[in-house]
Amino acid sequence: GAVYGRQPADITHIHEDYMGAPDVTKPPSAYGEGKRIGELLCAIYSNKYDMECKIARCFAFVGPYLPLNSHFAIGNFIRDGLKGGPIIVKGDGTPYRSYMYAADLAIWLWTILFKGKSCRPYNVGSEEAISVKDLAYLVASCFDKPIEVKILGTPDPSKPPERYVPSTKRARHELGLEQIVDLVTSIRKTILFYN
């Protein structure tokens, strides 16, 4: 999903035809630009050598082996809960994210590999948007013991919340894919994996 750059506030679910891009003046954009050039090089190679190229634009996931000490909010929240809390939200909790379970991810990637059209991008992820604040409380509720949630930032009502949520309509309609594991079950399964 990083290929799209910052998701505009007026787009609730970003689709594959969106032509936005990362801001090339910001160093963190190197990640998204790298993904964009990877898609371009694969498409050029595919066209030149008549070889299939499958493109999966992955968003955010949860499940076994998720890094718990990286920049992924859900992983950090699970880590905090496993330590007994509190779950710390470093920002204001207003950004929206969505999460797909690792088993669904595997099914989607295999399906795209075998059934997807060559050089046609498919978003991979969940359309179920949740604010980071609500996610923190949801993760806390998945533990047997009460876990405190602390939100360090204060929302700015003049700024629309950031979003990172895909439209998966193309994958669902063209390839018959669906998300099977819901978010609560995904979180609980991930907690059990790390316990």
**Is it the case that residue 162 has pLDDT exceeding 90?**
yes
Q: Which residues pair with 131 in a beta bridge?
A: 96
Q: Which residues pair with 97 in a beta bridge?
A: 130, 164
Q: What is the per-residue pLDDT for 17? A: 95
**Please, are residues 60 and 74 in contact by the beta-carbon 8 Å criterion?**
yes
Q: What pLDDT score does 1 carry?
A: 87
Q: Is the pLDDT of residue 71 over 90?
A: no
Residue percentage of the chain with pLDDT more than 70: 100
